[in-house]
Amino acid sequence: MTPIEKINQFTRRELSEEEVYLFDIILCDNDIDRDLECFSENALAQMQKLFIGKTGIFDHNLQSAGQTARIYDTELVRSPDQKTKDGRTLLSLKAHAYMIRTDSNLDFIKEIDAGIKKEVSVSCSAGKRLCSVCGTDKAQSCCNHIAGKKYGQKSCYTILEDIQDAYEWSFVAVPAQPAAGVTKYFKNASSSAPDTELSELLSDLEQQTRSEVLALCRNQSQEPVSKALCIAAEKMDLRELVQFKKSLIEQEHSLSQAAVQLADFRQK
């Protein structure tokens, strides 16, 4: 089928080639991203089917007013000359999208062509979040391995598996996956240095805070409670981790004071 034939599967009337604007996007790949996560090859294959027909919006704002494009086809692209951070062959999920040419989106189309609107991010549901070192499913339990650290020859990160649904894809300013975005665009690497440095600092801070929170969670006296807290902490962002850490420290302090008071009472 031709691109316009594939597009017309999603339309109420048949569109002509002159009415549509086509562009390609790298939605995601199997490399380790800024959140120290990566999609498995099997996950990318699942997403290849799930993202057909999905709409493109802005900043994951789930409002119909923000719908601007739709994916009409996808493909997996293997790049033998490119490697992931841990040495695997790079596999990317490439999407083919379309927009209707209108007076209102003419400037947006120009921004895409000029490389201003480029970066994208996907929204999906992963049924499994596997530790790259031991294979523990972090959606079910926790392990002692910390994302970002090396254990022998293995780097620790989270592998996203069992993709259950694909919701949407969005144009964003800073995607979790640096390579995700509209293709055929060459960016001056130095222009994104401040954003990259900030992202790396935030990622390091989140990693350190998550490690501290997990340590506090494992100190809980009851094992079921400890496991539940660890699972919850693995899914938190930096802001949530900071608040959770504060709560755990306050709880430890309260328990310590209660223990002192109980000891004093028994002595009397």
* Mean pLDDT per 10-residue section of the chain, whose length is 268 residues: 94 94 94 92 96 91 82 95 92 95 92 89 91 91 87 91 92 82 45 50 75 80 74 78 79 61 55
**Cα gap 113→107, rounded to integer Å:** 10
Same domain, yes or no: 181 and 237: no
Provide the residue count of the chain: 268
pLDDT value of residue 190: 37
Same domain, yes or no: 182 and 257: no
From 156, 187, 218, the end of a domain falls on 187
pLDDT value of residue 188: 35
Same domain, yes or no: 148 and 60: yes
Same domain, yes or no: 228 and 160: no
Residue 127, SS3?
strand
| Residue 195 forms part of a structural domain | no
Helical pair 223-234 and 193-218, crossing angle rounded to 10 deg: 170
Same domain, yes or no: 216 and 258: yes
| Residue 194 forms part of a structural domain | no
Same domain, yes or no: 173 and 58: yes
| Residue 255 forms part of a structural domain | yes
At 242, the amino acid letter reads: V
**Cα separation values, 184 from 8, 115, 172, 225, 240, Å:** 25, 9, 18, 50, 37
Residue 13 lies in domain: 3-187
| Residue 121 forms part of a structural domain | yes
pLDDT value of residue 141: 84
From 187, 221, 250, the end of a domain falls on 187
| Helix, strand, coil % over all residues of the chain, rounded to 5 | 40, 30, 35
pLDDT value of residue 183: 58
Same domain, yes or no: 110 and 161: yes
pLDDT value of residue 180: 83
Same domain, yes or no: 150 and 239: no
| Residue 84 forms part of a structural domain | yes
**Cα gap 27→74, rounded to integer Å:** 10
Same domain, yes or no: 219 and 164: no
pLDDT value of residue 186: 31
pLDDT value of residue 219: 77
| Residue 193 forms part of a structural domain | no
Q: What's the structural domain count of the chain?
A: 2
**Cα gap 259→249, rounded to integer Å:** 15
Same domain, yes or no: 181 and 205: no
Same domain, yes or no: 80 and 206: no
| Residue 208 forms part of a structural domain | yes
